[in-house]
Structures are given as C-alpha cells and as structure tokens.
Amino acid sequence: MSAGLLIDLSLVLMLVGLALQVVRGHGLFRGIVFFVAFGLAMALAWARLGVPDLALADAAIGAGVTGALMLAAFRRLVELDPAQARPTVAPHSPLALAIALLAALLVAVIGLTTIGLEHDPGRAGGQVLERLPETGLGNPVTGVLLVFRGFDTLLEMVVLLAALLGARIVTAGDRVPVRAASGEVLPLVGSLRAIVIPLTLLVAVHLLIQGADDAGGAFQAGAVLAAAGVLLLLSGRLVPSERATGMLRFALVLGIAAFMLMAWWPIMQGRGLLAPPGKGTILAVEAAMMLSIGLTLTLLFSGSAGVRAEPS
C-alpha cells in the first residue's frame, strides 16, 4: 500500500467518522463542534485533491463562518430555554438507515461511473485556461468567478445580501440580540485582540491580492474579515446596535455596486456587458466585495441591524 493511498484512506475515514459524530453525537453542542472539525477535514481533503482555493474557502466559510453562526444560534436557543443545552441522543430508525444506505449506494454508483467517463477535450475548463491571459489574472478560478461567469458571482453577492435581509426581517421583532461580552473585563483579551486583529486583517488583504494569481480571492478574504468582526463582537469591542448607520448600509451594498459598475462600464464604452476588465479593476471590485462579505457575515453573526464600536 502506497503512502498516498494511506493518506487518502485516513482522510476519508476521518471525514466519515466526524460526519457520524455530527449526526449521532450526544447533544447539539457536540454536533456543532464536530461539524466544525468536519469542515476542517474537508479543507484537508480539498488540499489533497489539489484545489487550494476550495481548501481555503471551506476552512474559512464552511468550517469557520458556518460554525460561528451555528454556535450563535445555539446560544440564542439556550438563552430562551436552558434545557436546550442538555446532552441528548437522536433515536435510531431502521427505515431511515435503509433509505440512507440505498442513497449512499446510488451516490457511489453515480460517482464511480462519472470518474470513469471520457471527457470532451474542448470543454469549458480548457477554454478558460486558454483565454486566461486576456484577463491579466493568474488564477483561473478567480478568472471564472470575476470574468467568465461574473454574472453568477454578482447574483451570489445578491443572495448573501438577501440572506441577511431575510434573517433581519424574520428576527427583527424578537429582541434576542447576542450579548456582546459577559460584562467582566478579562485582562488578557485586550492584548490578544491587539495581536490577532491586525494579523487577521493582514491575512485577509493578503488572500485578496494573492487571489489574482494564486489560491485566494474575495470570498476567502471576506470570511477572514468576518472572523475579525466576530472576535471584536465577542470581546465587546463592537456591540450590536438596533440601528444601521448610512455608512454601514453603504458598505453592505458596496460589493454589489462595484460589481455592477464593472459590468456596465464596458457598455458605456461600447464594448459589451461584462467585457473583460483589467486586473486592477478586478482587484478593486474584489476589495469592495471583501468588505461587503465581511460585514454581511459579521451582521449575520450578531443578529442585529448594525454594529457600533465601543471605546475600550
């Protein structure tokens, strides 16, 4: 057995084991924690499969942001009813087991069939690599996201904003905002924050700029930015507020606005909708997207209309 196969096998076994724990583990809290671990294992699997963009995205968004949102929702449940924190176990069901086994079998057959298929040599992926130099980008994934399938990404930004607006509409009347800090002043939090926040911002900007030519991009960078926002909320430096300032609303739609400007600008010049912009324009639009994504995810975590800075 080769070392490569051994690594793949242990990775897959880890994924399956963690997934089992998410489903069968005692209590909701354990389930969420194992889900975050599963997300990180997925990131390892992506890295092993040679797709670092997805590894970064799954680590930052799939594990990090989703986990943070789950834990925030869990805390709200426990605040409403402390009994929610009790460890429990889901019942066993032979029928569900049979259905799940059949579904897994079906998925395995489909998967094993597709990996054996002949691929069309002229398919879109090859054309992306061929025409990538026209965009001035080095990372084909960023090229697809921002140029070749830019419309998808624009609508993806709208979906993110719609999720925030929907969540606001649903919870607006409930008055169960996340309490920012426990009230007591922890002596080490301030200095930890002073080290971690600048580093987080550095990583976010680095991911953004690196994304033009290498693994990274606006979504990964935005998720890292959101991590900084979550940390500031948890340590009480940012507090949820029930009023969104004009500035904050502007920042929320900045990414979509910049993207639409990039789409329309070539029309004004008589070229065409979403004609390939230069690398500088793409980076500027991505920077705007990063800000909007980071802020949207932070607000989804805080569950409030806005956030404001609290002088420490």
Partner 1 sequence: MNAEVFVLGAAAVFGIGLYGLLIAGHLMRKLLALNLMVSAVFLLLLLASEPIAGTIAGQPDPLPQALILTGIVIAVSTTAFALALMVRYFARTGQSALDPDSADDD
Q: Give the footprint of partner 1 on residues 208-237 (CB under 8 A).
A: 217, 219
Q: How far is the CB of 288 from partner 1 (least distance, A)?
A: 16
Q: Please, is 14 exposed, middle or buried when counting C-beta atoms within 10 Å of its C-beta (0-12, 13-18, 19+)? A: middle
Number of residues that bind partner 1 (CB under 8 A): 102
Query: Is 76 or 310 the residue whose CB approaches partner 1 more closely?
Result: 76
- 265 to 294, contacts with partner 1 by CB under 8 A? none
CA distances from 96 to 92, 99, 101, 228 (A): 8, 5, 8, 41
The C-alpha atoms of residue 226 and residue 220 are separated, in whole angstroms, by 10
Query: Are 163 and 295 contacting, i.e. CB atoms less than 8 angstroms apart?
Result: no
Helices marked H in 3-87 — which ranges?
3-24, 28-48, 52-57, 66-80
* Nearest CA among 12, 51, 34, 72 for reference residue 220: 51
Query: Are 15 and 45 contacting, i.e. CB atoms less than 8 angstroms apart?
Result: yes
Q: How far is the CB of 133 from partner 1 (least distance, A)?
A: 13
Query: Is 115 or 268 the residue whose CB approaches partner 1 more closely?
Result: 115
- 3 to 42, contacts with partner 1 by CB under 8 A? 4-5, 8-9, 11-13, 15-16, 19-20, 22-24, 28, 31-32, 35, 38-39, 42
- 148 to 167, contacts with partner 1 by CB under 8 A? 149, 152-153, 156, 159-160, 162-164, 166-167
- 57 to 76, contacts with partner 1 by CB under 8 A? 57-58, 61-62, 65-66, 69-70, 72-74, 76
Q: Is 141 in the site for partner 1 (CB under 8 A)?
A: yes
Interacting residue with partner 1 among 133, 134, 174, 309 (CB under 8 A): 174
Query: Is 114 or 269 the residue whose CB approaches partner 1 more closely?
Result: 114
Helices marked H in the chain — which ranges?
3-24, 28-48, 52-57, 66-80, 94-115, 124-135, 140-143, 150-171, 187-210, 218-234, 246-268, 279-302
Structure tokens at 243: 């009023």
Q: How many CB atoms lie within 10 A of CB 38?
A: 23
Interacting residue with partner 1 among 297, 298, 304, 307 (CB under 8 A): 297
Query: Is 236 or 255 the residue whose CB approaches partner 1 more closely?
Result: 255
Q: How far is the CB of 311 from partner 1 (least distance, A)?
A: 29
Query: Is 92 or 243 the residue whose CB approaches partner 1 more closely?
Result: 92
Q: How far is the CB of 178 from partner 1 (least distance, A)?
A: 11
CA distances from 126 to 78, 121, 151, 257 (A): 51, 7, 20, 31
Q: How far is the CB of 201 from partner 1 (least distance, A)?
A: 21
- Judged by DSSP in three states, 304 sits in coil
x/- site string to partner 1, residues 86 to 115, per CB under 8 A? Answer: --xxxxxx-xxx-xxx-xxx-xx-xxx-xx
